[in-house]
Amino acid sequence: MLHAGRLNYYKSFEYELLRALLGVSLFTDEEESWQRYRTMLSPMFAKRHLNGLVDLMIEPIDELLNELQQREGRIEVDMVSEMVELTLNVVGNSLFSQQFGPVATGMSPMVTGGLRFGERLLRVFMVAAPPPIVWRGLARVAFTPLPLPPPFRDIQRIVTLIDNAVWQVINDRRENPVDTPDLLNHLLNASDEKGGMPIKRVRDEAITLMLAGHETTANALSWMWYLLALNPRARDRMFEEIDTVLAGRTPTADDLPNLPWTTAVFMESMRFFSPAWAIPRVAVRDDVIGGHHVRKGTTIIVPAHLIHHDPRWWPNPEEFDPGRFMPGAGKDRPRSAYLPFGGGKRSCIGQGFAVMESVLITAMLSQRYVFDLVPGHPIEPEATLTLRPKFGLPMIARRREVAL
């Protein structure tokens, strides 16, 4: 369905809602223009270009470390909140050479309320399966000037706040060009034989990269810290690798290939708790899957979380084992057995960015801190738009004494 039969399926109708809120981007586009823009944007996520973003990624990580260092006594952090703000700043700096920490802090209550309400609507709509026109109508509510009840008002304020911030950065950059390796310059300069990218599309891609590019990564990192706290042997091996390779200094792009266990820890965490736990698709024509007839218009869910725990592909699937992702491992696994970034032609274009960002965050925070669980706090996965800790993830940060 994601590979050989992909032409029989499009992204499901809730993407109509996301399209109206975020705009038409690679994430939401179902038109023929998708292939054109995918080709146009692919170079900005090539390894060579991503390596040029490392310094921009590191700045917000350094700032978080400095902020933690100023705290006295017992340091307790809500790891979900910390990772949300950190990844938003990393993406913002990589995209615009500008961080969004104050915006993120101000948006937090609105985002929580708006997302919770949106998730409740999605649950109802997934069962009722309304036509696309209903999704589009619901999305347009976010842009109406009329007074709205609190849940819709939160969504409206989020959209307006982000939209204004992104347009300001784009317009400033067009008026005052700067020589920087950030992704916005690539978006503004991207072109093919038909010409450049329309400015509205630049805005849509930028907003999508900022929002879709940080929330799932933040959840993946949060679960990773949780799993490391439960698996001290894997954590100690990661510390040893980081200390040996980096010897206390700030990582560079050249260091990343020398951190295979640290990378494998993140990859295994996404298998164990995949943020994109289910991938919805809608049949655009009649099809047959495994001998079962699928009618046009039927919504099909690809259960990524279940696939990631299938013992046919993952021996002892409830065991946290980063060795599954070490070089040379898993050669016999089908590619569709691991779907943290989707699969097939429409897989996430930013997966290389997400892995690089996450390994840098993991390595730099682990150079200075050990994160342990707060005793007695309930940890329960909540499957909404993404898979995240239902009651947050408070952790205690302890300074590491590294012998160099």
The binding site for heme consists of: 348
Can you tell me which residue has the tokens 């820890």?
A: 265
Residue 281 near residue 299, CB atoms below 8 Å: yes
The CB-based long-range contact list for 229-238 (8 Å cut-off, 24+ gap) reads 229/371, 229/372, 229/373, 229/395, 230/320, 230/373, 231/320, 234/265, 234/320, 234/321, 234/322, 235/370, 237/261, 238/262, 238/265, 238/362, 238/366
CA distance 181 to 54: 10
CA–CA distances in Å: residue 89 to residues 62, 171, 214, 228, 277: 11, 20, 9, 24, 24
Residue 266, token pair as written in the block:
């993140």
Q: What SS3 class is residue 120?
A: helix
As a whole number of angstroms, the distance between CA 176 and CA 170 comes to 10
* Token duo for residue 7: 């032409």
Measuring CA to CA, how many Å separate 224 from each of 4, 243, 269, 275, 376? 32, 19, 5, 11, 19
Amino acid at 387: L
Annotated binding site: 348
Please say whether the beta carbons of 271 and 285 come within 8 A: no
Give the single-character DSSP code of 300. E
